[in-house]
């Protein structure tokens, strides 16, 4: 090893004596965080475009099944780690076939480098720590370290074993956990073992981290922080272990206050469906969102349906593994997250419906129960929507007493220990005043400065002074807001920026389990959503997830008793949601006869008119005049449809739809019910062709088509009566026209979405049949349309009812394995299938192989070029080729098949079922030793007429292949391409006397080789002896 971080190896690194219990210094739950000081993190666009193959643990540093000796022999090898999902990292690296964190041959060559200047400072810093201090630093950063080494934990444990010459049993345990896929558990076990061991293991571990820093973004961040904080870190670590005692004056009040908070925060209210909103038990229903450390820029959360879904979720998961660090609500304060663990302001941002207010309520309740933040004596939750109603000047003391009056005369004792106070300021975007943090502290006018918690000031000044520590210096502030307000906080001196990403797979499952309260129903709901990518894509937002659960619950509960089916499209989902609102809540027409069916229809029409007005004028927050213009009654429209909130600028009521997609659905439903059928197609076309058509009206138009589906018609008929048949016919005619006449790839894709929403098999067959070839890809990547998994689901569903599809061009559409999975049920119907440049993985190739095995497979042309296919992929593909009799053209160019892969393909060509006539193997790293196999194939295959081996490495063996093709009477080869293979003059004279029994061969391409004029005579002689050979390039 180059240089172990200095320190006395004899001194104990841990405090634990044999038989004693280790004390966990990190009181909060394990979490993750992301903080990159080098560059801005990729945001939502980069997530949507990143490749999303899962981390391949089988190809990490330690190959499964390796012995310890095998591992030792790997010392001295380099390691590399993919630093982001797009490219592999390392000298001379090419874009990785899979976006993954992986270790290849050469670990210890990187680990055993001599001291390098870039690491000298951090090594010096760590050497300056005593063993006791280093242990405390390890505990301080422990949660972040556990996450940072998840993907390389086996390499770290191997290094410790190698350097300490011990810990064999410990290494074997880590190896077993990694093999079982328990990477996080393995990293926790490693940290446990190191902190319980002597100083040497701890020093070796930190030295290993230093040497891995260039390949591990998270380790690099931690080490940079340690280096930059220097001596201040010791103070932070010490303070993180301190818990100030509450004074005797306040002890009884604190107990009473916690009891009050537990009662006040027992339940929470949700703004969907139901007369007076739904009340749920906070403890039973709360699901913690994924929160990542970010910055004062717009966040990663997207808002359109097409940028969500599993591709987005997988992209976020990959970024969390490689770059982002996640933080749980119990770790926002006094932890290694943030610029400092000293008191300060934490900002948590998230889009509407992401659960910021519920999170704030949960923090208050958990503190009152003693679960988190023991360092705080009191936690005060102040909501900006309530602060808007404060008239005139006020004080911090008055704000607290207005909400919590039982403090009485003891308030002055609160100010004695400000470090024990946490203020939670919820939903900054709702505040009517703008707070200016750009003004230097010294320039603030005295009347705008809050010097003491009891002095009178404007609310905005109080907020500013709390956040900037101008008053109650030492207190902590948690501020929640939407991403739109982040720019105003850039100069606020924020200690930690965090952002709510939302729900990933685990959180979705947890939410469903709590919502349904029945594991069987929860599993059925998750399976259903997982199979319907469009609906699954909505569930990253807690609010939207609740809407979906609410819509699915009645059908799920009745499925075993009746033949009722669940919604299969977005339109059907919202139709079901609306129906359930009226049937099961305040508008229950079966129980409350005061609201008739005609009144319900009238309410839907008027609310839909308001929704359409908002779409046309880009309005999402409506005032009273908007409601009056459309004759919308607040008392009827609010439950389930609208949310009332405060206008920050006027303190007047504003109204927004529960979700913008619900607004678009109601707008479409209103238009559908009142449309003039003869002029409807012209109206729809005008919206589509309008300057805002591709954006503002996209979802509206999809809903218009979706309402024509039989499933939607039945749901709405039960509530509003039958939909107008003439309108349905007009909509379907319009969809046919769009599918036939779409002039651009984007319009063609949109017409596929229309067909999907229609859920009409006959319409799909007719439209795709008339279109013939569906071209969304291109041989030039920049001209191809990148498809999301949602798009692939749509395309697969539309093609499935068709008897055949003439052509499907998806070259460079970024499908990946998931895209192939979504399309798999329809691929066998495509006569020409072009999948060039789609980064197909092993699983993707396996799916294609299974498609080729189908007896009803109609694929005649298959293009898999530029997919980075390896010899293992060729082996899997050959299984399908050997049993397929429909395929006549196969393009495998620009891959990495090599000799082994080509051998597998040749074996498939020798199968009697294989009818391939044209085979392209350009640029596949093929060498001369595979020529024997190719010669054998030419002698047994009676269908192959064209073989392209351009730009490989056959060398002079290419002449042998040419002679074999000329001399075999049974050979059917007509064209042989050998351009750029390094062929020399060595064997060209043999061509002059070669047999010429194969009369089928008419063209041989030998251009761009190493032939000189010396070979001209032999080639000329060959053309005279072989009259059918018309071209030798």
The Cα-based distances of 699 to 96, 220, 662, 696, 891 in angstroms read 36, 44, 10, 8, 38
Q: Which residues contact 1026 (CB under 8 A, 6 or more apart)?
A: 966, 996, 1001
- Give the model's confidence band at 649: pLDDT under 50 very low, under 70 low, under 90 confident, else very high: low
pLDDT in tens, 347-361: 999 877 788 888 999
**Token pair of 149 as six digits:** 């080494």
Residue 713: is it exposed, middle or buried by C-beta count within 10 angstroms (0-12/13-18/19+)?
middle
For range 832-857, the mean pLDDT: 94
3-state SS, residue 466: helix
pLDDT in tens, 880-912: 999 999 999 999 999 999 999 999 999 999 999
The whole-number pLDDT of residue 562 equals 55
Task: Between 504 and 280, name the one with better pLDDT.
Answer: 504
Helix or strand (DSSP H, E) at 787: none
Contact 651, 389 (CB under 8 A): yes
Give the angle subtended at the CA of 236 by the CAs of 232 and 239, to the nearest 5°.
140
Q: Indicate if the pLDDT at residue 109 is higher than 70.
A: no
Contact 866, 836 (CB under 8 A): yes
Q: Indicate if the pLDDT at residue 677 is higher than 80.
A: yes
The whole-number pLDDT of residue 563 equals 52
Between CA 178 and CA 162 the distance in angstroms is 18
**Token pair of 67 as six digits:** 């012995």
Q: Which of 107-116, 172-181, 415-424 has the lowest mean pLDDT?
A: 107-116
**Token pair of 96 as six digits:** 């990785």
Q: Indicate if the pLDDT at residue 247 is higher than 90.
A: no
DSSP letters along 895-947, please? S--HHHHHHHHHHHHTSTT----EEE--SS--BGGGHHHHHHHHHH-SS--EE
**Token pair of 204 as six digits:** 């070796």
Q: Indicate if the pLDDT at residue 345 is higher than 50.
A: yes
| Beta-carbon count within 10 A of 559 CB | 16
| CB-based burial, 370-406: b 16+ in 10 Å, e otherwise | eebbebbbbbbbbbbebbbeeeeebbbbbbbeeebee
- Which residue bears the tokens 């932070």? 236
Q: Of 19-28, 98-107, 230-239, where does the model show the most confidence?
A: 230-239
Between CA 395 and CA 568 the distance in angstroms is 55
The Cα-based distances of 224 to 112, 210, 229 in angstroms read 21, 10, 8
3-state SS, residue 51: coil
H helices within 956-1015, ranges in order? 957-967
The whole-number pLDDT of residue 714 equals 86
What does residue 1027 show for φ and ψ, rounded to 5 degrees? Answer: -60, -25
Q: Indicate if the pLDDT at residue 72 is higher than 70.
A: no
Instruction: List the beta bridge partners of residue 497.
Output: 347
The whole-number pLDDT of residue 848 equals 96
For the chain, the farthest-separated pair of C-alpha atoms sits apart, in whole angstroms, at 115
Between CA 834 and CA 846 the distance in angstroms is 17
The whole-number pLDDT of residue 29 equals 32
- Give the model's confidence band at 647: pLDDT under 50 very low, under 70 low, under 90 confident, else very high: low
Give the angle subtended at the CA of 112 by the CAs of 109 and 116, to the nearest 5°.
105
Q: Of 470-474, 645-649, 875-879, where does the model show the most confidence?
A: 875-879
pLDDT in tens, 944-958: 999 999 999 999 999
- Give the model's confidence band at 648: pLDDT under 50 very low, under 70 low, under 90 confident, else very high: low
Residue 418: is it exposed, middle or buried by C-beta count within 10 angstroms (0-12/13-18/19+)?
middle
Q: Indicate if the pLDDT at residue 327 is higher than 80.
A: yes
The whole-number pLDDT of residue 1008 equals 94
The whole-number pLDDT of residue 369 equals 92
Between CA 316 and CA 503 the distance in angstroms is 11
Q: Indicate if the pLDDT at residue 314 is higher than 80.
A: no
Going by the DSSP 8-state scheme, the letter that residue 115 receives in this structure is P
Q: Indicate if the pLDDT at residue 64 is higher than 60.
A: no
Q: Which residues contact 765 (CB under 8 A, 6 or more apart)?
A: 801, 802, 803
- Give the model's confidence band at 444: pLDDT under 50 very low, under 70 low, under 90 confident, else very high: low
Helix or strand (DSSP H, E) at 726: helix 725-741
Cα–Cα nearest to 666, from 657, 675, 655, 653: 657
Q: Indicate if the pLDDT at residue 867 is higher than 50.
A: yes
For range 660-680, the mean pLDDT: 92
CA end-to-end span of the chain = 58
Between CA 473 and CA 467 the distance in angstroms is 10
DSSP letters along 361-398, please? HHHHHHHHTTSS-TT-SEEEEEEHHHHTT--S-B-HHH
User: E strands along 466-596, which residues?
Assistant: 476-481, 494-502
Cα dihedral sign, 166-170-174-177: positive
Between CA 890 and CA 379 the distance in angstroms is 68
Between CA 329 and CA 333 the distance in angstroms is 9
Task: Between 525 and 314, name the one with better pLDDT.
Answer: 525
Between CA 706 and CA 571 the distance in angstroms is 5
Between CA 161 and CA 165 the distance in angstroms is 6
pLDDT in tens, 259-278: 999 888 887 655 444 334 45
The whole-number pLDDT of residue 692 equals 65
| Beta-carbon count within 10 A of 632 CB | 23
Contact 336, 166 (CB under 8 A): no
Q: Which of 385-399, 437-451, 476-490, 491-505 has the lowest mean pLDDT?
A: 437-451
H helices within 115-247, ranges in order? 117-127, 131-140, 142-148, 153-164, 168-179, 183-196, 199-212, 217-229, 232-240
Q: Indicate if the pLDDT at residue 194 is higher than 60.
A: yes
Instruction: List the beta bridge partners of residue 381.
Output: 424
Task: Between 586 and 139, name the one with better pLDDT.
Answer: 139
Contact 844, 816 (CB under 8 A): yes
3-state SS, residue 281: strand
The whole-number pLDDT of residue 864 equals 97
The whole-number pLDDT of residue 117 equals 57
Instruction: List the beta bridge partners of residue 119.
Output: none
Q: Indicate if the pLDDT at residue 744 is higher than 80.
A: yes
Q: Provide, rounded to the nearest whole percent, the portion of the chain with pLDDT above 90.
A: 34
Instruction: List the beta bridge partners of residue 281.
Output: 267
The whole-number pLDDT of residue 636 equals 62
Task: Between 21 and 706, name the one with better pLDDT.
Answer: 706
Between CA 662 and CA 12 the distance in angstroms is 62
Task: Between 662 and 868, name the one with better pLDDT.
Answer: 868
For range 787-791, the mean pLDDT: 85
* pLDDT averaged over every residue in the chain: 80
User: E strands along 406-565, which residues?
Assistant: 421-426, 476-481, 494-502
pLDDT in tens, 6-25: 443 333 333 333 333 333 33
Cα–Cα nearest to 219, from 118, 277, 144, 270: 144
Cα dihedral sign, 914-918-923-925: positive
| β-pairing verdict for 889-891 and 805-809 | unpaired
Cα–Cα nearest to 333, from 131, 441, 494, 514: 494
**Token pair of 303 as six digits:** 């808002």
Contact 991, 1023 (CB under 8 A): no
């Amino acid at each position: 090893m180059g240089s172990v971080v200095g320190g006395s190896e004899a001194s104990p690194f841990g405090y634990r004596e044999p038989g004693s219990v280790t004390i966990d210094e990190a009181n909060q739950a394990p979490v993750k965080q992301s903080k990159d000081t080098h560059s801005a993190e990729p945001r939502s666009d980069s997530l949507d475009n990143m490749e999303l193959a899962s981390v391949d643990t089988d190809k990490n540093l330690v190959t499964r099944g390796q012995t310890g000796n095998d591992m030792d022999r790997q010392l001295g090898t380099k390691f590399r780690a993919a630093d982001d999902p797009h490219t592999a990292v390392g000298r001379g690296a090419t874009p990785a076939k899979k976006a993954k964190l992986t270790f290849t041959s050469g670990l210890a060559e990187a680990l055993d480098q001599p001291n390098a200047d870039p690491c000298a400072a951090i090594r010096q810093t760590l050497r300056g720590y005593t063993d006791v201090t280093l242990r405390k630093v390890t505990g301080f950063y422990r949660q972040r370290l556990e996450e940072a080494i998840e993907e390389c934990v086996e390499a770290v444990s191997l290094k410790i074993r190698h350097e300490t010459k011990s810990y064999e049993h410990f290494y074997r345990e880590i190896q077993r956990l990694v093999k079982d896929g328990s990477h996080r558990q393995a990293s926790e076990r490693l940290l446990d073992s190191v902190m319980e061991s002597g100083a040497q293991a701890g020093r070796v571990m930190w030295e290993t981290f230093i040497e891995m820093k260039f390949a591990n973004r998270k380790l690099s961040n931690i080490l940079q922080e340690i280096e930059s904080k220097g001596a201040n870190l010791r103070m932070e670590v010490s303070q993180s272990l301190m818990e100030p005692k509450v004074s005797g004056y306040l002890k009884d009040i604190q107990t009473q206050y916690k009891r009050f908070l537990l009662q006040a925060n027992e339940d929470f209210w949700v703004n969907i469906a139901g007369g007076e909103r739904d009340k749920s038990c906070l403890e039973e229903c709360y699901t913690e969102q994924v929160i990542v450390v970010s910055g004062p820029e717009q966040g990663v959360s997207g808002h359109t349906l097409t940028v969500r879904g599993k591709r987005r979720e997988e992209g976020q998961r990959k970024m969390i593994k490689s770059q982002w660090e996640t933080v749980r609500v119990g770790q926002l304060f006094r932890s290694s997250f943030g610029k400092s663990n000293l008191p300060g302001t934490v900002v948590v941002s998230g889009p509407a419906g992401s659960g910021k207010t519920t999170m704030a309520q949960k923090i208050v309740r958990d503190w009152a129960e003693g679960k988190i933040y023991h360092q705080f004596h009191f936690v005060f939750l102040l909501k900006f929507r309530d602060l808007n109603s404060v008239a005139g000047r006020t004080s911090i003391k008055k704000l607290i007493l207005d909400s919590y009056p039982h403090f009485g005369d003891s308030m002055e004792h609160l100010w004695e220990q400000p470090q024990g106070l946490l203020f939670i300021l919820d939903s900054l975007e709702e505040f009517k005043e703008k707070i200016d943090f750009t003004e230097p502290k010294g320039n603030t006018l005295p009347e705008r400065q809050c010097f003491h918690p009891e002095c009178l000031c404007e609310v905005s000044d109080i907020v500013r002074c709390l956040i900037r520590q101008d008053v109650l210096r030492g207190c902590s502030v948690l501020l929640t807001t939407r991403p739109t307000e982040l720019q105003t906080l850039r100069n606020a001196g924020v200690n930690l920026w965090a952002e709510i990403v939302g729900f990933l797979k685990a959180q979705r499952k947890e939410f469903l389990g709590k919502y349904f309260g029945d594991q069987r129903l929860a599993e059925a709901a998750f399976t259903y959503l997982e199979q319907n990518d469009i609906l699954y894509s909505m569930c990253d937002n807690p609010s939207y997830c609740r809407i979906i659960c609410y819509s699915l619950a009645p059908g799920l509960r009745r499925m075993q008793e009746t033949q009722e089916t669940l919604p299969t499209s977005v339109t059907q989902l919202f139709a079901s949601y609306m129906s359930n609102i009226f049937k099961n809540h305040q508008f229950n027409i079966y129980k409350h006869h005061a609201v008739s069916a005609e009144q319900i229809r009238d309410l839907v029409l008027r609310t839909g008119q308001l929704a359409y007005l908002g779409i046309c004028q880009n309005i999402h927050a409506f005032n009273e005049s908007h409601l009056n213009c459309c004759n919308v009654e607040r008392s009827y429209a609010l439950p389930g449809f609208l949310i009332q909130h405060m206008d920050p600028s006027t303190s007047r009521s504003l109204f927004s739809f529960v979700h913008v997609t619900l607004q678009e659905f109601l707008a479409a439903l209103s238009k559908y019910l009142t449309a003039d059928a003869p002029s409807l197609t012209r109206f729809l076309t005008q919206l589509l062709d309008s300057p805002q058509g591709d954006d503002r009206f996209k979802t509206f138009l999809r809903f218009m088509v979706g309402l024509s589906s039989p499933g939607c018609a039945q749901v709405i008929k039960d509530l509003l009566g039958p939909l107008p048949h003439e309108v349905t016919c007009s909509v379907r005619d319009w969809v046919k026209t769009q599918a036939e006449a779409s002039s651009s790839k984007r319009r063609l894709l949109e017409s596929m979405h229309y067909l999907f929403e229609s859920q009409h098999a006959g319409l799909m067959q007719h439209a795709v049949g008339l279109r013939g070839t569906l071209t969304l890809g291109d041989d030039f990547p920049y001209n191809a349309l990148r498809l999301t998994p949602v798009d692939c689901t749509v395309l697969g569903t539309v093609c499935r009812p068709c008897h055949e599809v003439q052509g499907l061009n998806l070259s460079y559409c970024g499908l990946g394995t998931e895209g192939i999975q979504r399309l798999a049920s329809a691929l066998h119907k495509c006569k020409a299938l072009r999948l060039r440049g789609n980064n197909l993985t092993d699983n993707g190739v396996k799916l294609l192989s299974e498609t080729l095995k189908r007896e009803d497979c109609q694929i005649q042309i298959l293009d898999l070029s530029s997919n980075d296919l390896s010899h293992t992929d060729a082996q899997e593909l050959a299984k399908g080729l050997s049993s397929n009799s429909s395929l006549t053209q196969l393009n495998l160019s620009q891959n990495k098949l090599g000799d082994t892969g080509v051998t597998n393909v040749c074996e498939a060509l020798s199968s009697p079922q294989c009818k391939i006539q044209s085979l392209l193997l350009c640029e596949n790293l093929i060498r001369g030793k595979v020529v024997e196999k190719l010669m054998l194939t030419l002698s047994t295959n009676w269908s192959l007429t064209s073989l392209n081996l351009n730009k490989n490495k056959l060398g002079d063996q290419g002449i042998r292949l040419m002679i074999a093709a000329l001399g075999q009477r049974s050979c059917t080869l007509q064209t042989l391409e050998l351009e750029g293979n390094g062929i020399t003059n060595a064997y060209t004279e043999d061509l002059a006397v070669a047999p010429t029994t194969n009369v089928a061969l008419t063209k041989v391409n030998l251009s761009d080789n190493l032939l000189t004029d010396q070979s001209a005579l032999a080639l000329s002689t060959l053309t005279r002896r072989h009259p059918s050979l018309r071209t030798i390039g």
